[in-house]
Amino acid sequence: MRYIYDYITLGEYRCHHCEKLPPDFSLTAIDGPFRNLFHKFKNIRSAWGEPIDIVSGYRCPFHNHEIGGSLASVHPFGLAFDLRPRDREVKELYKHILLLHPELRIGKYSTHVHIDNGYLIKPRMSHHWQEGARWQE
């Protein structure tokens, strides 16, 4: 298992369809918005105290479309994670993330919590890409 950042494996992050990474991502120099997201996940995971599975990280545009991802998804930029706790409830993880990093965009689903920092992408693809955006399904 190859870790690309604390608590983040290459297998979890890369596209599950084509195994690629975002075009502008470098394994040797993780910086900018990638470092921002990865560091926030590290904080979330450290404070949580037990494993959190990254169900989805980067998705190539084809895979994002194939699984029904939104046209305005941040996953094809590599700046989003779908997270699933192993031994606790999704709602607990959602509340944990809200308290620790309220600036993130956070979506709560029945099976996972989505986090992203799409608000750092300029120009913004959507007016919904605002810091602190929330949604639930």
40: pLDDT strictly greater than 90: yes
Confidence of residue 127 (pLDDT cuts 50, 70, 90): confident
Q: Which domains does the chain have, with CATH numbers?
A: 3-21+31-67+74-136 (3.30.1380.10)
Confidence of residue 137 (pLDDT cuts 50, 70, 90): confident
Q: Is the pTM here over 0.85, yes or no?
A: yes
Residue type, 137: E
- Pairing type for strands 105-108 and 134-136 reads parallel
**pLDDT at 126 (0 to 100):** 83
**pLDDT at 92 (0 to 100):** 98
**pLDDT at 124 (0 to 100):** 85
φ, ψ for residue 93 (rounded to 5)? -65, -40
